[in-house]
């Protein structure tokens, strides 16, 4: 019959363990109690309480037996109690260690079930990135013009009115400023210089001519900003490529030949170009460049408004007044400049009807242009 554990708090005299047989019976009962208790341990917390109850240094059963049974035992019983206690201690420690391993293993198994990963399930496919259509179009422009001996220049998107307007022959009162609704930056207190977001890439022309003696042949790809409401053909931020060639012997023929070559390289050999007189403050004469409609081959369709031609971009021979701002000798030099909308070229080439698609970064749209 199991004995209540509080027996171990009493001395052997109190429980009248008068004979070695009685002592061995007490230990056998204790061991049965211990075995019964050990079978109920089913978690790490239960195991800790169980361990402390039996082999805890201060209040454990084995300590109590040592203090209350072994130490005060009469000499004739000491060996019997000592041997029985040692046997019990060895058994208790072995079982507690075994139970620890079992509890840990079952905790691991529970965690394994909880965190089970099925390696045979198919993975989540990640979309592979592609070059954005704008980037592809700009790369096309760069490829074509680099093959003609041009280099690529870049400049700041935050500009002063001087570089964005004045040095391009657009004085403060010029009506052309109205057509480029400009974002001005807030002037910090005490600041003397007004800043704005460039409305075209043309300021880089001025920077380039200021820092490089002629001859100059550059294209300038970049972002420009205007206060336009976003719709299918407008955006407050869009992309331009500016071109500038200045040398001592540049003629209108070279200008025309360069543009024709570029349009054919970009849209295909069948596309024809034409020049219409136009006006820009920084070119004289100025020309609007049209290309034969790439959708109907010039026969006339809805997109070209049945004219057979599509307006492409503005250009012209550099106005000599511009050379005056950068200390170029207007008597010896001549050149041409053009500025075209990258987004518009991409839309025409790839048949995109809404400009906003280029800025929404919807992968379903972008992955169509690998």
SS (H, E, C) 129-182: CCCCHHHHHHHHHHHHHHHCCCEECCCCCEECHHHHCHHHCCCCCCCHHHHCCC
**At its nearest, how many Å lie between Zn ion and the CB of residue 303?**
5
Residue 16, classed as helix, strand or coil, is coil
Instruction: Give the binding-site size for Zn ion (rule: CB under 5 A).
Output: 5
* Site membership for Zn ion, residue 26 (CB under 5 A): no
Tokens in use for 113?
């079930």
Closest to Zn ion by CB, 152 or 296: 296
* Site membership for Zn ion, residue 352 (CB under 5 A): no
Please choose, out of 106-114, 202-210, 293-301, 354-362, the segment that lies near Zn ion by the rule CB under 5 A. 293-301
The residue number whose beta carbon is nearest to Zn ion equals 293
Please choose, out of 47-55, 104-112, 296-304, 332-340, the segment that lies near Zn ion by the rule CB under 5 A. 296-304
**At its nearest, how many Å lie between Zn ion and the CB of residue 269?**
18
Nearest alpha-carbon partner for 242 in 180, 294, 196, 199:
199
Residue 314, classed as helix, strand or coil, is strand
* Site membership for Zn ion, residue 272 (CB under 5 A): no
* CB neighbourhood size of 150 (10 A): 19
Where would I find the beta strands (DSSP E) of 38-117? none
Nearest alpha-carbon partner for 78 in 25, 29, 20:
20
Task: Give the separation between CA 361 and CA 343, rounded to whole angstroms.
Answer: 14
**At its nearest, how many Å lie between Zn ion and the CB of residue 270?**
13
* Site membership for Zn ion, residue 312 (CB under 5 A): no
**At its nearest, how many Å lie between Zn ion and the CB of residue 355?**
19
From residue 81, how far is each of 3, 35, 69, 88, 253 by CA, in Å? 17, 20, 7, 10, 120
* Site membership for Zn ion, residue 301 (CB under 5 A): yes
* Site membership for Zn ion, residue 293 (CB under 5 A): yes
Closest to Zn ion by CB, 37 or 301: 301
**At its nearest, how many Å lie between Zn ion and the CB of residue 310?**
7
Q: Which of 296, 320, 357, 365 binds Zn ion (CB under 5 A)?
A: 296
* Contact footprint for Zn ion (CB under 5 A): 293, 295-296, 301, 304
């Amino acid at each position: 019959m199991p004995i209540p554990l509080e027996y171990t708090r009493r001395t052997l005299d109190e429980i009248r363990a008068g004979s070695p047989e009685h002592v061995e019976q007490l230990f056998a009962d204790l061991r049965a109690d211990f075995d019964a208790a050990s079978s109920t341990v089913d978690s790490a917390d239960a195991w800790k309480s169980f361990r402390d109850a039996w082999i805890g240094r201060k209040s454990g059963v084995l300590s109590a037996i040592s203090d209350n049974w072994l130490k005060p035992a009469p000499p004739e019983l000491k060996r019997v109690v000592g041997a029985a206690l040692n046997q019990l201690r060895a058994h208790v420690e072995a079982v507690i260690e075994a139970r620890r391993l079992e509890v840990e293993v079952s905790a691991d198994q529970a965690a394994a079930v909880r965190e089970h990963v099925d390696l045979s399930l198919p993975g989540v496919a990640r979309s592979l990135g592609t070059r954005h259509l704008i980037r592809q179009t700009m790369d096309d422009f760069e490829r074509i013009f680099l093959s003609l001996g041009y280099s690529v220049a870049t400049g700041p998107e935050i500009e002063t009115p001087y570089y964005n307007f004045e040095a391009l022959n657009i004085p403060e009162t010029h009506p052309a400023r109205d057509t480029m609704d400009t974002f001005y930056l807030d002037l910090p207190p005490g600041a003397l210089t007004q800043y704005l977001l460039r409305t075209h890439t043309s300021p880089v022309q001025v920077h380039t001519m200021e820092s490089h003696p002629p001859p100059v042949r550059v294209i300038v790809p970049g972002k420009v900003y205007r206060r336009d409401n976003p719709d299918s053909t407008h955006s407050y931020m869009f992309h331009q490529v500016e071109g500038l060639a200045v040398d001592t012997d540049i003629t209108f023929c070279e200008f025309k030949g360069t543009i024709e070559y570029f349009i054919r390289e970009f849209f295909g050999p069948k596309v024809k170009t034409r020049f219409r007189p136009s006006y820009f403050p920084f070119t004289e004469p100025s020309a609007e460049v049209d290309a034969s409609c790439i959708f109907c081959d010039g026969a006339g369709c809805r997109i070209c408004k049945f004219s057979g031609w599509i307006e492409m971009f503005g250009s012209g021979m550099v106005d000599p007044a511009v050379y005056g701002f950068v200390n170029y000798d207007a008597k010896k030099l001549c050149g041409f400049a053009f500025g075209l909308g990258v987004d518009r070229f991409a839309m025409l080439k790839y048949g995109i009807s809404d400009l906003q698609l280029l800025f929404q970064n919807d992968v379903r749209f972008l992955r169509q242009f690998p």
